[in-house]
Amino acid sequence: MANDNNRFQAIISHCKEYGFIFPSSEIYDGLSAVYDYGQWGSELKKNIKDYWWKSMTQLHENIVGIDAAIFMHPTTWKASGHVDNFSDPMIDNKDSKKRYRVDHLIEAEADRLENEGKKNEADALLTEMDKLLAASDFDGLKKLIEDRKIKCSISGTSNWTDVRQFNLMFSTQLGSVTDEASEIYLRPETAQGIFVNFLNVQKTGRMKIPFGIAQIGKAFRNEIVARQFIFRMREFEQMEMQFFIRPGSQKEWYEHWKKERMDWHLSLGIPAEKYRFHDHVKLAHYADAACDIEYEFPIGFKEVEGIHSRTDFDLRNHQEYSKKKMQYFDNDLDANGKPYGNYIPYVIETSIGLDRTFLMVISEAYTEEDLSTADKQDSRVVLKLPAKLAPVKLAVFPLIKRDGLPEIAKQIMDDCKSQFRCFYEEKDAIGKRYRRMDAIGTPFCITIDHQTKEDNTVTIRYRDTMQQERISVTAIKEIVGSHIV
Ligand code: GAP
């Protein structure tokens, strides 16, 4: 069994070799922390998106979706607090000139201590860090790094600058003439597109509280320490949902969404022990409670999704900055029989990274199997993806390239391809074709041979068990279809 870091590297290589993920603009040596999804990666990513979208909107009658623009009026980011607060404390090593996010530097030290069996010391270090971060005590953070003699991984020294804040938003110019152009930002979260449309959706959709607005879209952050493949990117996608509720009911809804979202994760077939909640001690500028759902990646437990009780922070600030009322009139009656009346709703947010979900799904699916027998060494790499997420659902193979078998195979392909993604291949030995489909996670392969001509049956081969059986051509759509809903 490969160690975890080797496994992580193997997954990265696999993603490139089989057309899932390429470094962006690779012919120019790539762009740091920016990636392109290839032919199978884009299919898998789209299937994850569709699965989330369906479970959030179609299966919740009180949640609707929107698709807001990436560019937003610059005041949006003043109101949301991102201009003033969306920054991370950084520290530079004076010898290597390398810049680190302070929390990542200290966390790496805690990991090192834990690996040496000093778990109590590691926990104490993290607790101390959380306290200092919560108090924005930058001198204290620098002192902690120096006292612990934390070293730069490149220079090996502990010669550090002061701790400073860096804003993570990318800015650009809107307008053609530089003098007249105004500075705008690439959105660092999709949520603000939901907040500014709150009343548009509530009024046109005649939505009654509690209700939610969901959105999938790109977000951009100038991450200073961007590494670990698609785990931390500068351009990424989020799947977010803002759930608008009565003030005072936030605790109950926060717990509700924690459970709902964990259930969604478990519905991917990932075992419960691979997940955990991490409650935040240091809260973002907008939250009164927050936690992460963490998944155990090959590089350890890390955040995939955040659940945040955002109070009325965003709507209240947009009301203040825009001078437009962001209120809801609630004519339901409270316990005293009086209408709740006008208020600015509170919000529970669920925010999951699409790219991180992709990395989670592929990390869970990636399996190296030793198939050696007494006579022969053999192995395979198989992606045991849930069939509903697999890029290709059905591969269609004629056993050989003649005797009318390709024609029958193409007919079957034509019959199935409007219902689910199929892939046709006639090149190479059948075993090689199976292995290529295993590597991209195709759950079903069918082979058309001479017997097909006689009795209209094909061999179906199941990816995970590699078992094969004979089925009627007329049963193909039902077997595949029943696994992909
Ligand atoms: N609207 C709230 C929000 O943006 P967040 O915890 O900063 O909260 C939510 O981000 C999710 O977005 C994270 O749980 C993660 O999955 C994803 N995410 C954040 N930064 C990312 C990055 N640089 N690269 C990839 N995914 C990222």
Burial class (CB within 10 angstroms; exposed 0-12, middle 13-18, buried 19+) of 232:
buried
Q: What is the mean pLDDT of residues 108-123?
A: 92
Which stretches does DSSP call E strand in 312-414?
Answer: 328-333, 339-343, 346-353, 366-370, 379-383, 394-398
Residue 309 CB less than 6 A away from ligand 1: no
- Whether the predicted pLDDT of 182 surpasses 90: no
Contact 385/45 with Cβ under 8 angstroms?
no
Q: What is the mean pLDDT of residues 67-86?
A: 94
pLDDT of the residue at 2: 43
Integer Cα distance of 380 and 6 in angstroms: 17
- Which ligand 1 atom is the nearest neighbour of the CA of 188? 4
User: DSSP secondary structure string, 338-353?
Assistant: -EEEEEPPEEEEEEEE
User: DSSP secondary structure string, 194-262?
Assistant: HHTTHHHHHHHTT--SSEEEEEEEEEE---SS--TGGGS-SEEEEEEEEEEE-TT-HHHHHHHHHHHHH
Residue 45 CB less than 6 A away from ligand 1: no
CA of 485 to the centre of ligand 1 (A): 28
Residue 355 CB less than 6 A away from ligand 1: yes
Integer Cα distance of 335 and 55 in angstroms: 33
CA of 219 to the centre of ligand 1 (A): 9
pLDDT bin (cut points 50, 70, 90) of residue 37 is very high
Structural tokens at position 297 = 């990646």
Integer Cα distance of 242 and 260 in angstroms: 14
Residue 237 CB less than 6 A away from ligand 1: no
Residue 189 CB less than 6 A away from ligand 1: yes
Condensed to tens digits (0 to 9), the pLDDT of residues 427-483 reads: 999 999 999 999 999 999 999 999 999 999 999 999 999 999 999 999 999 999 999
pLDDT bin (cut points 50, 70, 90) of residue 134 is confident
Q: What pairing do the DSSP bridges indicate for beta strands 289-297 and 300-311?
A: antiparallel
Integer Cα distance of 228 and 9 in angstroms: 10
Amino acid at 441: G
Among 351, 354, 357, 359, name the best residue to mutate to test ligand 1's pocket (greatest count of ligand atoms within 8 A of Cβ): 351
Amino acid at 263: D
Query: CA distances (Å), 474 to each of 147, 186, 412, 415, 426, in order?
Result: 72, 51, 9, 10, 22
Beta bridge partners of 396: 424, 446
- Which ligand 1 atom is the nearest neighbour of the CA of 232? 24
CA-derived radius of gyration, the chain? 26
* Between 23 and 178, the higher pLDDT residue: 23
Among 299, 303, 350, name the best residue to mutate to test ligand 1's pocket (greatest count of ligand atoms within 8 A of Cβ): 303
Structural tokens at position 476 = 């193909």
- Whether the predicted pLDDT of 269 surpasses 70: yes
Sheet holding 275-279, edge to edge: 63-66, 211-220, 235-245, 346-353, 300-311, 289-297, 275-279
Nearest to 311, CA basis, from 287, 295, 335, 337: 287
Q: What is the mean pLDDT of residues 349-363?
A: 98
pLDDT of the residue at 282: 77
Residue indicated by tokens 């975890």: 4
CA of 323 to the centre of ligand 1 (A): 30
Contact 421/393 with Cβ under 8 angstroms?
yes
Q: What is the Cβ-side half-sphere exposure of residue 47, based on CA atoms within 13 angstroms?
A: 23
Residue 297 CB less than 6 A away from ligand 1: no
CA of 228 to the centre of ligand 1 (A): 14
Please give the model's pTM, rounded to 2 decimal places: 0.89
Structural tokens at position 67 = 């698709």
CA of 135 to the centre of ligand 1 (A): 23
Residue 313 CB less than 6 A away from ligand 1: no
Closest-CA residue, ligand 1 atom 4, reads 189
Q: What pairing do the DSSP bridges indicate for beta strands 394-398 and 422-424?
A: parallel
Backbone φ and ψ for 473, nearest 5 degrees, come out as -55, -35
